[in-house]
């Protein structure tokens, strides 16, 4: 199934964040599995955007860890 988006980066980013929160993903292995799922389920043309969104999410998680 293909879905059109005006802002795929933001859509992937928000979706990943929802998954992290819903499943309380914090360990690297779990986050890596999340990334692999997104890459497997989406077309290759979206992989760059997915990677950028994932790195942004990691940066946010690292900042949150510093604040704790």
Q: What is the pLDDT of residues 30-57, one digit of tens each?
A: 999 999 999 999 999 999 999 999 999 9
pTM metric for this prediction: 0.89
The C-alpha torsion from 35 through 26 and 4 to 52, rounded to 10°, is -60
pLDDT of 5: 87
* CA 16 to chain CA mean position, Å: 4
Here the contacts of 5-8 (C-beta below 8 Å, separation 24 or greater) are 8/46, 8/49
At 57-68, the pLDDT tens digits run 999 999 988 887
């Amino acid at each position: 199934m293909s879905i059109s988006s005006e802002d795929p980066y933001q859509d992937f980013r928000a979706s990943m964040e929802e998954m992290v929160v819903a499943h309380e993903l914090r360990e690297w292995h779990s986050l890596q599995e999340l990334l692999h799922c997104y890459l497997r389920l989406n077309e290759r043309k979206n992989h760059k955007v997915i990677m950028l969104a994932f790195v942004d999410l990691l940066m946010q998680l690292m900042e949150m860890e510093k604040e704790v």
